[in-house]
Copies of this chain bind each other. A is one copy, B any other.
Amino acid sequence: MYTDLPEGELRQYRSAQTDPTDFDDFWARTLEGSRVHDLGVKLEQVDSRLVTIDLYDVTFAGFDGHPVKAWLRVPAGTVASGRSLPTVVQFVGYGGGRGHEFENLLWASAGYAHLIMDTRGQGSGWSTGSTPDPVGSGPATSGVMTRGIESPESYYYRRVYTDAVRAVEAARSLPVVDGARLAVLGGSQGGGIALAVSALVPDVAALVAYVPFLCDFPRATVITDRDPYKEIGRYLAVHREASAAVHETLSYFDGVNFARRASAPAWFSAALMDPTCPPSTVFGAYHEYAGPKEIAVWPYNGHEGGGVLDEVMATEALAGMLR
């Protein structure tokens, strides 16, 4: 059943989220603070049993110089050939990591350079990661959503979004990547991160966000009981007096506010039966998105959204956007 408004009302819905006045300053300062560290990109080819794809273990300096891991996949022999390729930088869904060598073969098989970044401290859920988050936190609920939520400076996603910006910079430092034809892409949390990057790195060539998470927190935290949004509600159910401060923190990380600052062509998807990232929260960001944009609406799907069809449509869209 629909978990949120029907499509007609979604087309009218607008988020109530507002911009903190120092939003741009906050992020400018944050990125500067990490750019004092050298990117330090390391590439190590991995001898997997795959014959059509070359795989590289990537490390670069993310937030505050912390090492962050990623995989780079390219069609076999590309690096040796000296060619540069249109590129997809992918961020992953909540709980997962960059995964195993044998996973995520699509984008390289489709002829892209494909960098998939670990999400720090995650990677013990549906796929594995190898990147620690060396920063602790105050009292928090299970999960990462409330780590450091006491202030924008200490909030977990400050580190993650910065890592993601650095991942784009790391990719662009590689000869095999055609930096002018680089898209950021992801589903769920990955889509939310990609959306943030599309604002923080304004010259990315395209954004793809499937059923993005991390959007429209004021509404998201009261219309679903599913994790991970519910982690915030669970925190506020105990830290009852912290509601204003928490929402103040979240406003620095809300896809709605990033959307207002983006300009790259974008492709979104939303699912009308999604209990995890209810479609109004996606439309909340989509409507604010300042660049050219399209959205696919899946009426009978939950958080899986369009599934492989999201990828098919993204492939079509990127073929145009990265021409």
Binding site for B on A (CB under 8 A): 1-2, 6, 49-53, 75-76, 95, 97, 99-100, 102-103, 105-106, 108-111, 118, 121-144, 146, 221-225, 227, 233-241, 243, 272-273, 298-302, 304, 306-309, 311-312, 315, 319
Contact = CB atoms under 8 A, between A and B. Distances in A.
B300 A52 contact: no
Given A139-B130, A311-B102, A125 B52 contact: no
A125 to B, nearest CB: 7
Given A1-B225, A121-B139, A129-B139, 4 more contacts: A1-B224, A126-B238, A130-B138, A132-B137
Contacts of A237: 273, 300-302, 304
Given A75-B51, A105-B106, A140-B121, A309 B146 contact: no
A128 B239 contact: yes
Given A1-B223, A105-B109, A137 B125 contact: no
A278 to B, nearest CB: 9
19 contacts: A1-B222, A49-B111, A52-B76, A99-B308, A100-B308, A102-B315, A105-B109, A109-B109, A118-B139, A124-B141, A124-B239, A125-B238, A132-B136, A132-B138, A134-B136, A136-B136, A142-B144, A236-B299, A243-B300
B136 A121 contact: yes
A114 to B, nearest CB: 12
A52 B49 contact: no
Given A236-B300, A237-B300, A238-B125, A137 B133 contact: yes
The complex is assembled from copies of this chain, and their number is 6
Contacts of A50: 109-111
Given A103-B308, A121-B136, A233-B273, A75 B52 contact: yes
A240 B300 contact: yes
A143 B142 contact: yes
Query: Majority SS of interface residues in chain A?
Result: loop
Contacts of A143: 142
Contacts of A273: 222, 233, 237
A19 to B, nearest CB: 22
Nearest to A306: B240
B124 A235 contact: yes
Contact of A139 (B75, B123, B126, B221): B123
Contact of A136 (B133, B141, B319): B133
A108 B2 contact: no
B299 A238 contact: no
A297 to B, nearest CB: 11
A224 B121 CA distance: 26
Contacts of A309: 100, 240-241
Contacts of A224: 1
A86 B243 CA distance: 34
Contact of A233 (B106, B108, B137, B300): B300
